[in-house]
Amino acid sequence: MGMKDSTKKPLLRDGTMPDGSKQIMTYIDNANVKRPKGIKRVLEERGLWIPGLIKKCDTCKKNKPDPNNPNCCTSRILSAQPDFVAQRSRIREINNAYELGLSGKAADFAVKKYRSYRRIPEQVLEEFAHD
């Protein structure tokens, strides 16, 4: 996810605003194409944007964030949002699909196609199990 709205980044799943309402993580550009929102727009919509923020500060780059400064950079602010915390990483999704009995390639394919190992239909799991 970049600071500015992008054309090259992958689309994200919709999020949840602090008030519990849905936040759509895409916008329609002038050419009527769906594009991913940037970090700045996401934080502005949530009312969390602070002018002058950078994407990732030096302490966060070193994985030693300052506990006294939760608003040091956009990465730190977003990573503290409940809907971002709840997101599972792609590698965890693939690992869970692998634990269901899929081979490595099949697990990767299934997670890509169904966006989560939990959404893989039983009949697809059985089909992979027979291969």
pLDDT along the chain (131 residues), means of 10: 76 82 88 88 92 91 87 90 76 74 77 62 66 55
- My answer on whether 21 and 81 are in the same domain is yes
pLDDT value at position 52?
92
Q: How many C-alpha atoms does 42 have within 13 Å on its Cβ side?
A: 30
The residue segments making up the domain with residue 104 are: 90-130
- The answer to whether position 99 is within a domain reads yes
- The answer to whether position 43 is within a domain reads yes
pLDDT value at position 96?
75
3-state class of 58 per DSSP?
A: helix
- The answer to whether position 46 is within a domain reads yes
Rounded to a whole number, what is the distance in angstroms from the first to the last CA of the chain? 37
pLDDT value at position 45?
92
Number of domains in the chain: 2
- My answer on whether 81 and 116 are in the same domain is no
pLDDT value at position 14?
82
pLDDT value at position 120?
63
- The answer to whether position 2 is within a domain reads no
- The answer to whether position 49 is within a domain reads yes
